[in-house]
Amino acid sequence: MLKNLHKFSLMLVLAAMASMAHAEEDTSIAVDLNSGRGGEARRIPDPSEFKVCADQDNLPFSNAKLEGFENKIAELIAKDLGKKLSYQFWYDRFGFLRNTLNAGRCDVIIGTNTGNDALLTSKPYYRSGHVFIWRKESGFNITDWDSPDLRKGVIGVVDKAPVARPLFDKDLMANARPYRLMRDLNLPPSFIVDDLAKGDIDIAILWGPIAGYYAKKSTVPMVVVPAPEYGDIDKSGQLGYNISVGVRKKETERLAEIQGVLDRRQADILKILDEYGIPHVPVVEPTKGKKKDARGDAIPKNE
């Protein structure tokens, strides 16, 4: 009897611990439990609210302290529209759209690939690409995929990123050190640039906003050079992307309202990008007869 009572007590303790952990997780991402997916209570839209879906810990894009450049762009749009800005935070990983925009917990994605099939997207408001980045002290001179200095060190790349195509074609995979596509949440978003600064790798080839922002913040001087586009050689190696605001597919009125701000405030948006060290180039219009970039999926923001 006492043995069974002990087991029952232990089960209660474990269940309580699990419940506390779950409650803490919900609090950390501030999920509005009054809204949700089909079959659950849903948030009632507030016309005076500009509610953004964002990651709470993914600089330079966004964080819970509203320090990212997408936070600043969201603030600019909300202010122009005369609406109050609020957020639904969720880690930008698998299930992000399902648990935020598609669950009705928020209404706007500030930065997504213009060709993202899951969303109705605005006209692109900037374009970025991948870049080469290295410590200035290395003295490297890397301008393209045939630069000899690419063969002189360990190259940090995100696993399954499009840069794998040119690295493979140029017989550079032996130099590559892959990092997980989905960031370990125990590590800061800067972890690849941090490894570069420490000398664990010698070169990194990263999505421009990540590299540009953290190179600017690094105490170790860095060199950032745009990587030449490879999509004209192999579509799987496309490195540059148009970036847009995204909303739910049927919300044409909401998107038109946002598009008006993007058109009016384009210069201010580019100024924000420059302040954060975000590399950007002129938008490339889609090929005639095509509505999307070569890849229709959203850019992983830890790439």
For the residues of 273-300, what is the DSSP string, one character each? HHHTT---BPPPPPPTT--S-S--SPPP
Q: Determine the pLDDT at residue 120.
A: 97
Is residue 291's pLDDT more than 90? no
Q: Determine the pLDDT at residue 38.
A: 54
**The overall pTM is greater than 0.85:** no
Length of the chain: 303
Confidence band (pLDDT; 50, 70, 90) for 16? very low
Confidence band (pLDDT; 50, 70, 90) for 23? very low
Q: Determine the pLDDT at residue 40.
A: 62
Q: pLDDT digits over 248-271, tens only?
A: 999 999 999 999 999 999 999 999
Mean pLDDT of 260-288: 92
Confidence band (pLDDT; 50, 70, 90) for 32? low
Q: pLDDT digits over 139-196, tens only?
A: 999 999 999 999 999 999 999 899 999 999 999 999 999 999 888 888 999 999 999 9
Cβ neighbours for 13, distance < 8 A, ≥ 6 positions apart? none
Q: Determine the pLDDT at residue 255.
A: 98
Percentage of the chain with pLDDT > 90?
71
How much is the mean pLDDT over the chain?
A: 86
- Cis-peptide into 178, omega within 30 deg: no
Instruction: Judge whether 119 and 138 are in contact, CB under 8 Å.
Output: no
User: Cα–Cα distance between 101 and 119 in angstroms, integer?
Assistant: 10
- The pairing of strands 176-179 and 155-158 is parallel
Q: Determine the pLDDT at residue 2.
A: 42
Q: Determine the pLDDT at residue 303.
A: 55
Q: Determine the pLDDT at residue 181.
A: 83
Residue 174 CB coordination number (10 Å): 9
Q: pLDDT digits over 41-86, tens only?
A: 677 778 899 999 999 999 999 999 999 999 999 999 999 999 999 9
Mean pLDDT of 18-33: 44
Q: Determine the pLDDT at residue 33.
A: 52
Q: pLDDT digits over 129-148, tens only?
A: 999 999 999 999 999 999 99
Handedness of CA 218, 221, 226, 227 (dihedral sign): negative
Q: pLDDT digits over 212-248, tens only?
A: 999 999 999 999 999 999 988 888 889 999 999 999 9
